[in-house]
Each structure stands twice: as C-alpha cells, then as structure tokens.
Amino acid sequence: MSLYVDGVDAFEAGDYDQALSYLDKAIALDPQNTEFKYYKAVVLSKTGESDQALAIWNALVKQYPKEYRKALFDIAAVYTKKRQYENSLQVLEKAIHLKPKGARAYMEVAVVQRELEQYDLALSNLQMAKSLNPQFGPAADLTTAAIYLEREEFDKAENLFKQVADQDSGTDIGVAAVKSLEAVEQTRRARKPWYVNGQFTWGYDDNVTLRPLDSELLQFQSDEEDAFQSLFVEAGYRIINRRDWRAGLSFAFNHQGYQDLAENNTMSYNPTAFLEYYKRKKYTFRFSYDYAYYYGGGQVRDLQDAQWYLLFDADDDKLQTHRLMTNFTLVEPYGLSSVVNFAWMQKDYCDSTPDAHVYQPGITQNWALPNIPVVLRVGYQLYWEDSENSTYSYYSHTGLGGLSAMLPWDLTADLQYTQVRTHFDESPQLPGAQVFWKGDRADTLHGLSVNLTKKLTDCWRIQANYYHGDSDSNVIRKDPWYIKGGKQYNKYWDPYEFRKNIFSLSVACNF
C-alpha cells in the first residue's frame, strides 16, 4: 500500500514518471487491485497517453460498471478534450443510466452540450443538476450565465454573474463570476455595430529609412537618427452584425512625421469593406477589400521645435493600392490554433516607378500552453512583388517565432524574432562602383521586437515597444580608399548592410 501512496504523492507533486514507477510496482505486487490500475490511468491521461488510460478505464467499467462509474467521467473528459463531443455524450448517458439521480452526470452533459451550442438542452440539464443536488447550484448558475453571454443575452448574463459573485464571494466560483462580468462588458462593446480605434505614438529611430514608400529596390538607410510621431485613426460600421455573420465598412487614416527628416513623412487614407463568418471555438473566416492612397514628403517647420511632428503636410502623390485579403483561423484541440492568410495587391506608383502585383500567402501556428497564460507561435510568410520591370521584382521568405504572456497588474508581454530573406530578380547596378556578388542580390534581415502593454481601462491602454534590426547582403562593393607610397588601397564593403533600433511609446484606445 505504501507504494500506492508514494505514487499518489508523486502525482500530486507533478512528478508523473515517478508516480508511474511506484504504481507499476504496486500493481506487480497486487495485480488484482483495481484502484491501483484506475489511478495509473489517471496519471497516464496527464502525461498525454490518453489511449492507454482509456483502455484501462474501459476495462474497469466493463468488469465493474457500478463500482467504477467514476471512470466514465474520466473517459468523457478525455473525449471532450479531443473535441469528440458525441463520444463524450454517449459515455455520460451511461453514467446517468447507472445512477439516474446523480447530479454530476447532468452537469457534465450540460458542459458538453454547451460546446455543441445545444444551449436549450444544456440549460435544461443544468436545472436538473441543481434540483438533484443544491450543492451544484453555484457551478450550474455560473455555466448558465456563460451560456447567456454566448447567446448575447447580455442583461441576463450580467444579472446572473452578479448574483453568483455576491452569493459565493471569496470562492473560486465567485472569483470566476467577477472576471466574467468584465467579459460581459467587453463582449457587449465589441458587438456594437460601430467602432472607433485610435493610437498615438512617439518614437526614436537611430537609422531612418529613406523614401519609405518607394519600391524596396530604391529604399536605403540614412545612417541618421531622428524622433518621430505617428497617428492612426479608424472608424467602422457593421451593416450586418449577427452572431455568426458580420459585414461592414471602415475608413482609416495614418500619418507619420519626423522631427528633422521631414521629407520622409508619410500619410495615407484607407477605406475597407469586409465580410466575416464566425463559428465559436471552431473557426473564423474573413474576406476584405481595401483601397489605400499614400502621400509622402514634408518640410521642417516651427512646430517641430515645439516637439510636434504631425503637420499633415505630405502632399507628394506616391502610391495607390488595391488589396484583396482572406484570413482563416482554425481552432484545434490542446490549445492549438492555425491562422492561414492570403493577400493579392495591385501597387500603382504615381511616379516613373513601374507598377507591380503582390502575392502574399502565410501561415501561423499558435499554442496556448496548459495551466499558464502563455501563447507560443511560429509562422511563415511569402511576399512576392512582381513588377512590370523585372529589375524591381523581388520576393522574400519570412520565418518567425514568438510568445505572448499575461503578467500581473494587467500587463501583457510579447516577444518575437523574425528572419527575412529577400531575393531580387536582377543583380544590383551601382553607378561608378565595382560590385562583386555570388548570384543575384539576396538580403538577410534579423529582427527582434519586444512589446509591453498595460491595460488602463476597458478602452485605454499604453504600449512600450523596442525593435532591433540587423541586415546584410551577398553584395560586396569596391571603392578607392586611399593611396600610400604610390599604391592605391581599396575598401570592400556591403552597401546594403545596416543596423537599426527603434524605441516607441504609444497610447491606444478602442470604442
């Protein structure tokens, strides 16, 4: 018996391998002890060996159905975790058949029916659980309020959450009810037909990009530092605003201005039409069309000295784009989700730069870690710009890895590393210089971004951001350096190599 107790202690301490070792030894000494086998299945289910656990539990239920009715709840939990909801319901029906007045079985059935969006049946079984055993009342009320929220019956959900929070103050259920009240207000606001978003940013860039709206081939780093400010405002209205279907229009304005390098200021207008389909806990599909018109340029004025860089004076027509974009998010078992997107864009330059088509497919895989508020992600993005002049055509591969984490005091941290490999269709031509390279030009950019967000209210938040970029290429340029003793010495360097650091602080709002 001591081996069994040691196994239980190791399990509760989180040492599952040691727990299995003790339980296997206990079973070897007493092969007929069914409780040892039951608990071994519990440990196996925690280690991810759900098939082995199911085999043990099913064997116990088959041989001792009444004595191991409790194993039916474990079996149902495994099926629910795998999203095999129909199998879970069949198992729970057996539990009800063995004990028709057992409140727990009705409670578990209601939880599964909620996942299947069989809300009326779930509410009926929650009431049955309460009537059979009043001790299930708080949990049943909490689940009932959650169903009201999912059905967007906001007043009923809010009232019942308040009731549970008052009656069960200080308990886990009471704490959950208080947190759910915040979700009611957030969901109610998110489901309004109109919305307004805004963000103001102040930042510092130690290596400003010149001509940021030009083709990638024509962009260079200035090796100059400067402070900047940016303003983003978006307003939208959902013409169709159902729980599953949404469609609407939005309009966005974006402006970035520099303190000294004002000729690199940018400004854009961006109307968008979108259509969304939402299936709770399964998938989301979004299709959108947007048009954007970009202006560039600006002048240094007295206001820059007063630390205000947004002068709205960019009046040089630079670029207009038409973009079609699809986004599909699939929610998977075990905290996984996949985001697949594809975009097509027409870029029409307002100067002599050749127009281009852009194709941009990508995928991101997210994993919400169990028991801790951390989400890991990895992703890949292809960007292909096919210009009317092949000299301006290029494509890039982007790989990324990152994580986001919820921290105390309503803080959210995000860390991401990216590597971008950009290939140009033709070799570079640098007038007046000798250039050496292997194959066509290829740039590699390593980027690291860190973001810390503090929630102030349901509508307001502040963000601190840092970005570091490190880029080089396979191009080597040869330039005369100096002459000594009648002999010329040359300098060999990469004209596309640069380092960049950007620090910024933002204030954002959502209404």
- Tens digits of residue pLDDT in 486-511: 777 778 888 889 999 999 999 999 98
> Encoding tokens for residue 393?
């055509």
Residue 67 scores a pLDDT above 80: yes
**What is each CA distance from 208 to 219, 224, 226, 262, 475, in whole angstroms?**
11, 6, 7, 11, 21
The pLDDT of residue 30? 85
Tens of pLDDT, residue by residue over 424-470, are 877 655 555 566 655 678 899 999 999 999 999 888 999 999 999 99
The pLDDT of residue 132? 94
How far is it, in rounded angstroms, from Cα 195 to Cα 210?
A: 34
> Encoding tokens for residue 259?
């303190």
Share of the chain above pLDDT 90, in %: 62
Q: Which helix (H) or strand (E) holds 327?
A: strand 316-331
Q: Which residues have a Cβ under 8 Å from the Cβ of 208 and sit 6 or more positions away? A: 221, 222, 224, 225, 226, 228, 258, 261, 264
Q: What is the mean pLDDT of the chain?
A: 90
User: Structure pTM?
Assistant: 0.79
The pLDDT of residue 430? 57
Better pLDDT: 102 or 307: 102
467: nearest Cα among 206, 262, 199, 230: 206
Better pLDDT: 73 or 484: 73
Tens of pLDDT, residue by residue over 250-299, are 999 999 999 999 889 999 999 999 999 998 778 999 999 999 999 998 88
- Which domains does the chain show, CATH number per domain? 2-188 (1.25.40.10), 192-510 (2.40.160.40)
How far is it, in rounded angstroms, from Cα 400 to Cα 364?
A: 9
Find the helix packing angle between 85-98 and 103-115, rounded to 10°. 160
Residue 202 scores a pLDDT above 70: yes
Q: What is the 3 state secondary structure string of 468-509?
A: EEEEEECEEEEEEEEEECCEEEEEEECCCCEEEEEEEEEEEE
Tens of pLDDT, residue by residue over 30-46, are 888 888 888 888 888 98
The pLDDT of residue 427? 61
150: nearest Cα among 180, 108, 127, 125: 180
Q: Which long-range contacts (CB under 8 A, 24 or more apart) does 344-350 make?
A: 345/321, 346/321, 346/322, 347/319, 347/321, 347/385, 348/319, 348/320, 348/321, 348/322, 349/215, 349/318, 349/319, 350/317, 350/318, 350/319, 350/320
Bridge partners, residue 420, by sequence: 398, 445
